[in-house]
Amino acid sequence: MPEEFLTTRERILLLLRSSDFPLSAKEIMHLTGVRKEQEVYEHIYHLSLSSKHKNYVVIVYPPKCESCGYEIVLDKPKRPSKCPRCKSERISQPKFLIRGKGDE
Concatenate the DSSP letters of all residues of 11-48 into one string. Answer: HHHHHHHH-SS-EEHHHHHHHHT---HHHHHHHHHHHH
Does this model's pTM top 0.85? My answer is yes
The pLDDT score that the predictor gives to residue 102 is: 77
The pLDDT score that the predictor gives to residue 11 is: 95
Coil, helix or strand at residue 53: helix
Taking 60 as the threshold, does the pLDDT of residue 1 lie above it?
A: no
How is the chain split into domains, by residue range?
Answer: 3-99
- Residues 63/72, Cβ–Cβ less than 8 Å: yes
- The larger pLDDT score, comparing residue 82 to residue 5, is at 82
Which CATH number does 3-99 carry? 1.10.10
Average pLDDT over residues 59-82: 93
Q: Which of 30, 60, 32 is nearest to 45 (CA)?
A: 60
The pLDDT score that the predictor gives to residue 2 is: 57
Distance CA 44, CA 96 (A): 8
